[in-house]
Each structure stands twice: as structure tokens, then as C-alpha cells.
Structure 1
Amino acid sequence: MLAPCSFASERLVYRAADFPTDDAFLLETFRDPATQMGYFGGVTKPYAVRHMENWKKHLDTNILSAVICLQAEDGSAGEPIGVVDLEKREMGGPQNRCCGFGLVINKQYQGKGYATEAMEWIVRRAFVGYNMHRVEGGVFSWNTAALSTYRKVGFAEEGRRRKALWEEGGWHDDVTVGILAEEWYARHPDVAQQV
């Protein structure tokens, strides 16, 4: 019998975005300049409600988008703390089974291991739930916390565009990270890979 991937991990619950209920949380999260730099790159700017519309469309086009919530005592979704997603990356066609990821944790919840837990969950969904062959992402070199998180989950640095981003008075590298299905399954021998 198949065991479906749960929409929960040890301390977190993953649910669909609920607009306009989540607007205030997402606006607060993306108004933080460090969050903007890490997620969007480029020059930071005051973030307004109108900016949310494009981001909502982005969520709707993803393979999977989830609001990350603290798990309430009854196991349901409690307070939202971030967003995680799998993005389409067809690279010549869907037969390549490649996707990207996005992750944002509200600044007041950073440094508590939630990013690592959410990344473990989304990568498992990619390989077990969606039968992806590869998950990839980009991170700017100044974001050492994110790089550390991705390495913990098993991502390898695959490339580096040197001095690709001008941010806050200096140049920063754009780092590409990736993990293959066989690498993930080797780290999780308790999960049987289906052929």
C-alpha cells in the first residue's frame, strides 16, 4: 500500500495560500529588505500590496506552493512563518523531470531550523511525490545561512556566476545548487525508490 507524503513535518504544517487572509503575513515578510535580497535579488524597494499580485500569480503557476505554518497543539496549521515552492523548469521538455525551489522564512523565525525542516519536506515531495529527477536552485553568495541549509539537505554547489549581483555596495556571486534523485534516495534508505 502506498503511503502518501504528508503535508506536515516534525514541527511544521504546509497548507495552501489563502488570499486575502495571508496578504498581511506575506506583505510583512517581503517588506524585509534582507528577504527581498535573498528571494528576488536586485535592488530592494518598499513593498506594497500591489506588488503581491505578481507574486500570487507566481504561486499559482508552480508545481507546488505551500505556506509554512507552525504546528498547533492539535496538529493543524498554526501561525504562518514562511513559504516554500517547487517551480517548473522544463529545460527542453518535461521528460527531464527538473524543478526549482523557492524558500522564504519570516525573519522572526530564522535561525531555528525551520528552513532545513521545510527544505527536507519539499525535496521529499519533489522526489517521492512528483517523481522529479533533479531539484535545483540559486542562492547569492552573501546568504551563507541558506547555503548551509541547502548543504545540510544534500544539495551540491554546481556552478557560480561570479560577481553577478550588485547589492548594498558590493558584488556577489550567484551560486547554483542541485540535488539528484539518486543522491536524495541514498541519504534516505528507508524510502524505496520506484522505477
Structure 2
Amino acid sequence: MTLIPNPDGLLHFTSERLLYRAAENTDSDKEFIQRLLNDPTIQTMSTGRLKGPLFQKYAEDFIKSMQDSLLGLIICLPPSSEMVSSSAGGKEQNPVPIGHLGIFYTQPPGREHHRCAMLGISLADGFRGKGYGGEAINWALDWAFQHVGLHRISICAFSFNFNALKLYKNLGFVEEGREREALYHLRTWHDLVMFGMLEHEWEALRGIK
């Protein structure tokens, strides 16, 4: 049995439990992105930036980079979600943002024909460890390989981020190399681990011949 994503040929901005929308330059999106950027776990596990409070300009610049990227999404739970209904007393009427995901070219303009891109994702506190990250990444991989014609997607993780290392391997990414001792964390040096997935590897995972 084949597992071709979106066999009707249509691009749906939803997956089993999630929906995806564009990042907007609104007060609510800026507040949400700023909250993510200031999240201690995200600062530690997802960025090499010097840890510290970030002001709103960072959120505005981040949204601009999302809008300029190949794909920049706010990951949301639909208002009908059991998790949203229970936390909001059943009164929430709008999708609830829980993270962001982006795919962007890794090479300078003029080299897009190599069809290589990088994926990045972060989830807000309270929504990690529930399978949302893997679901969103799988949706993005299907988008990239089925609808955009990319040939290679890369993703990276810090060597002390054991959950991310396990997730990327389980999703089918292949470890391709390390920048040894490129990260300083808690008075210890750690590696930056690079993963990649090729178009034919995605086809094998989806049962596409």
C-alpha cells in the first residue's frame, strides 16, 4: 500500500491534529513569537544566541525572516482540539498558536536550482513531548518534496538535546556530520549535529515508487 501524502493532489494546510497558517505582523503574532524567543528552553535547546531577555524588535525581525523564507508557519491547534477546549473551558473560538516552523534556502540567491533547504521548528512550553513536533515536520517534509520539488532538507540539533536527536532519527533523517565542540553550555563544550533527508529517502518512507 502506498502512503502518498495528499493523494487528491491538493495542498491542505492541516494535518491530523494541527493546522498551519502564515505568520502575520500583528500584535498577537509578535507577542507570541517574542514569548517563544524568550522561552528559556528554546534559548537553550534551539539557538546559539547568548541567553537573555529579548525585546520586541527581535520578534518583528523574526516574523520578517519567516515571511521572506521559503515556508514560514505558525503551528496551531484548532479550536475544536480537546487540549484547547479543556484549557479554555470550551470557550476558545480561534486556532491556538503553539509553535513555529520554517524552511529556508541554505545557499545564496542564484543557487536555488540545487534545491537544498533547511528546516527549523520550536514549540511553546506545554506543547512539547506530545508528538506535535514530529507531526508538523512530517507535514513540512511532504510539502517540500511533493509540492515544491526540493531534493534535500537538512535539520540540526545540539548534542545535549537528546529528545531532538531521537525525534529526527525516528522521522528518517540521517546524521551527516558534526561541528565538534561548537557550543558552550553549562561550562562544557558540545557538538552541533547535522541531519539530512533526500528526496528518494522521503519517497521510501512514504511508500512512493
- TM-score, structure 2 as length reference: 0.84
Gapped runs of 5+ residues in structure 2?
Answer: 1-6, 82-92
Q: Which residue of 1 aligns with 2:103?
A: 86
Query: Which amino acid is 1:12 matched to?
Result: L
Please state if 1:45 is matched with 2:52. yes
TM-superposed deviation, 1:37 = 2.5
Corresponding position of 2:117: 99
- State the 1:42 CA deviation: 3.3
Name the SS of the counterpart of 2:178 in structure 1: strand
Deviations 1:12-54 (A, max 9, x none): 0000112222112112222112202333213211122122122
C-alpha distance in 2, partners of 1:15/1:38?
24
- The TM-score with structure 1 as length reference comes to 0.90
The alignment covers a number of residue pairs equal to: 190
1:171 maps to which of 174, 189, 194:
189
2:85 match: none
Quick one: distance in 2 between partners of 1:61 and 1:139?
A: 23
Q: 2:3 matched to which residue of 1?
A: none
1:42–1:165 CA contact under 8 A, matched in 2: no
Residue of structure 2 equivalent to 1:143: 161
99-108 or 35-44, which moves further after superposition? 35-44
Contact 2:24 2:63 in 1 (8 A): no
Identity %: 34
Larger radius of gyration: 2
Residues 173 and 197 in structure 2, CA contact (< 8 A), matched pair in contact too: yes
Q: 1:78 and 1:17 mapped to 2: Cα distance?
A: 13
- Give 1:83's aligned amino acid: H
Q: Structure 1 residues 97-106 or 18-27, which shifts more?
A: 18-27
Aligned to 2:147: 129
Aligned partners of 1:99 and 1:135 also within 8 Å: yes
For the pair 1:159 / 2:177, whether they are aligned, the reply is yes
